[in-house]
Structure 1
Amino acid sequence: MRIVDVCAFYAPRGGGVKTYVERKLQAGAQAGHEIIILAPSDNDRVVETQGGGRIVMLPARRFPLDRRYSYFDDEQSLHAMLDRLQPDLVEASSPWGSAAMVARWRGDAPRALIMHADPLSAYAYRWFGSVLSRATIDRGFEWFWRHLRRLDQSFDLVVSASDSLSQRLSAGRLERVATLPMGVEPGYFSPRHRNEALRARLLERCGLGPDATLLLGVGRHAPEKRWPQVIEAVTSAGYANPVGLVLVGDGRDRARVRRAAANNPHIQLLAPMHDRPALAEMLASADALVHGCEAETFCMVAAEARASGIPIIVPDEGGASDQAAHGVGLRYRAAQTDSLAAVITDFLNGDPQAQRRRAQAMAASVTTMDDHFAQLFAVYRELEGRRRHAA
């Protein structure tokens, strides 16, 4: 099959979506499929990838809130490229305007919407959740639910990476939702990469000795990631227990994150890590991963932490919460700093080493991306030949 992924969130210096895309190109080639990533960019070029497939860049406007990304703004140009590529199946990886453009394309190939984003959790629920009920917010954003239902009727399949998101989409009256959890890159993440000397060096950077507990956070500095909340909770838990936090990442919210960490010498901020083996070693060497975002559709870093054999401390909503369902994590009330501080304290006062041993024993059970793509391509095979026109 020739599968064209209209990938609005791809960027050469991006994070989880970039990782997912690059593995998809390899997995597709190995399975005998031609994968073409159609991505917005500031220039017009084609990138042939080593493992097979290609990335076709379409000129587009820069996204004003994060200059690493662009967004599709020329529907006619997008349709013309799809006409030229003649796909057997089209994916749209964002529920925003690019998905509506794909829905309106007059080609007859079947199409799938991949929910790589959960805008209601990332924005509406985060903005108004402290003063309004979820049901009230949903009523206020009924226009977005109508948009999703129109997409649901225009696409042959809506792919969700977690049960929690699938349940919300189905409750919102979407009818074509299928849960296909993503996975981790095979060959990278494992408990065998644990390095006690690295752990000691990281704790030393935090001004602590090797008897302290090392927490790790990984992700973009963006408001929905809630890093200032994580920092505040770790600081609170640290009054009674020696605990250090190493936070890996960067982004448009960096100023707030730096201010939050400025007065705690036990918190260290590191630049994003693009060296996957180095990240795998750091994950395996921590005592637990802590995460603040309840708007994850899957939470790749939590899955990577599980595959690395460390416990996870995550909010009780979203894809991160689903990762803790495997018995190797602790949940706190989403967006509640006091709850997170209490759960971290419980973790510190419990038996962190016993929890890590349990996480190590279960690490090999984490789904890989190759497993995910095998399932995804099998579903696409069922759609192949279902020629149709956009609604």
Structure 2
Amino acid sequence: MKNMLKGLGAALCVALPLLAQAPAGAATPAAAGAADQALVQRGAYLAQLGDCAACHTAPKGKPFAGGLPMNTPMGRIYVTNITPDAQTGIGGYTEADFARALREGVAKDGHNLYPAMPYPSYAKVNDGDVKALYAFFMHGVAPVQQANRESDIKWPLNMRWPLMFWNMAFLEKGPYRDKPGKDVAWNRGAYLVQGLGHCGSCHTPRGVGFQESALDESGSAFLSGALLDGWFASNLTGEHNTGLGRWSDEDLRTFLKTGANRHASAFGAMTSVINNSTQALNDQDVAAVSKYLKSLPPVGGNGAPAYTYDPQATKVSLDRPANDAGARVYTAYCMHCHGVDGRGFAPMLAPLAGNPNVLAKDASSLINVTLNGTGDLVINGVPSPFPMPGFAAVLDDKQIADVLSFVRAGWNNGAPAVAAAEVAKLRQSTQAGR
């Protein structure tokens, strides 16, 4: 059951970011006919906030034509065509049909959508933004005739009617309402984070029914970090070690626009979020998101005092020869990018000393990125010159466990050691099919 929920989490989390510019394959202005071009353009921006292309555009596929495979322990599902093609897409949807699918997870013909579609978050989207999104998908996206594929899930697990009861238990209907006593920027940030941004889909722990444990700041688990698909989505609360407590407003805004700051760099799924979504946010929305996230009280952590640097690990790694097995691996493979002192060369090369991802109790992200590396951050069309390489073919499980244990203990990081068995497990799950 645990593995099944984890796999479903991967499906839920896949809905990551969209295109940073006007979406490829968008229809020409003439094709929009009498549609309000300002409304279509607004819908295109909102679609970026909603990360629609991340799921609905397959690699090397046509924009929004679907076909992306998503693995679950029950079988593989394939994301649907949401272009305005009348036969295979959503060309026959009315605005009411579109709104119901977006906010309630029910298709035009009445069948329930899998909650890989983050409709519990999109339920908070207001009517005006739904109208703009509908205008974009009907008049700003080129129709593509591409039939949807049936899932590979076998009967009886492929029956969708039980999702009705899941919705009854866990779907909170109704658009976001401004919170009294909060200013315009805070409420805008809350609306974006909780709704179209659906940050909680990855960053909030799941309950027994695999529902998000909290959908807004009224729940203590909201955005406190969660393990999904071999990555640990970071704590976004004000916790001072594993969260954003030591980040200034400028630090957070810089990270959202560029994927790197003096504390950390994006990797894993967050690379796609930066590349295709958050870097495209306008300045007002970036500031609003930052203001809201910085307002969240601290949750999680290990109760340790706020991080302070200690150079002792540097002395250990510089011993000749280093007595610590992890230090030997660090000096051979890691030191040149992350520095002998663990402070890196931010923002180009991430620090390890005090990095919230290093301090987190769950080491899954560190293991995963060491094994498999990460994709390029591409900001304003320019790829990062120093992406993290993968070491799966270079280092064995014990060596990776040793070096990560050294890093997590060093420079006063004070995080738990990593076992070789943990590395072996993630190696098997993430390398399968490569």
Which structure has more strand as a fraction of its residues?
Answer: 1
Larger RCO (alpha carbons 8 Å, 6+ apart): 1
TM-score between the two structures when normalised by the length of structure 2: 0.29
TM-score between the two structures when normalised by the length of structure 1: 0.31
